[in-house]
Amino acid sequence: MKNPATPLPLEGLGADGPHPELAAKLALFGQFIGDWSIEAQWYGSDGVVTRRAAGELHFGWILGGRAIQDVWIAYKEDSGEKLAAGTTIRFYDPVLNGWRCIWISPTQNVVRTFLAIKVGGEIVLEPADETIHERWIFSEITANSFRWRAQESTDERKTWQMTEEMRMRRMIDLVRSP
């Protein structure tokens, strides 16, 4: 008998890798599959850092390898306890030749949808709702690190100000003895 308090992976959710027919297109976000440490900072309207924090980010294949899900985890400042901050589900849409991304954060009571495309060496996520003047950008991408930042505009997208910045570093897989 299963213990209902013991979390188990949902049947059919996880996948071992990208769907073969979509592997090339899925590589844009597929390159992030794995576990990452986060060093984050938030900025005030004057551009000064107002807060710093650490956390984790975990990417994995889901739904037959047709989508990628991530889980963002923050460490509580007072105790270091892990707090699941939110999750994103991303999938490639061949009609748009871009990625549909849905961010869900119950701790912030937020659901946002974005369209992501590659722009030069960056991945830019623009909100599907044009009344939201915020964008998210993945940049400085290497095999073992990347930068993520959020920018907001208060002048109808003429200028942008950074509100959040995160530096991710790939966690080293631990070798386990049999």
- Alpha-carbon span 89 to 101, nearest angstrom: 6
Residues in the chain, total:
178
Instruction: Please tell me the chain's helix, strand, coil percentages from 3-state DSSP, rounded to the nearest 5.
Output: 10, 55, 40
Burial of 165 by CB count in 10 Å (0-12 exposed, 13-18 middle, 19+ buried)?
Answer: middle
Condensed to tens digits (0 to 9), the pLDDT of residues 124-171 reads 999 988 878 899 999 999 999 999 999 999 888 888 999 999 999 999
What are the two backbone dihedrals, phi and then psi, of residue 30, each rounded to the nearest 5 degrees? -60, -25
- Alpha-carbon span 164 to 1, nearest angstrom: 45
Q: Are 125 and 116 in contact (CB under 8 A)?
A: yes
DSSP state of 175: P
Condensed to tens digits (0 to 9), the pLDDT of residues 17-42 reads 889 898 999 999 999 999 999 999 99
* 20-170 placed in CATH 3.40.50.620: no
Helices within 31-136 (DSSP H only): none
Q: What is the CA radius of gyration of the chain?
A: 17
Task: Please give the model's pTM, rounded to 2 decimal places.
Answer: 0.86
- Helix, strand, or coil (residue 106): coil
Which pLDDT score is estimated for 76? 77
Which positions ≥6 away from 48 have C-beta within 8 Å?
Answer: none
Give the residue extent of every domain in the chain. 20-170
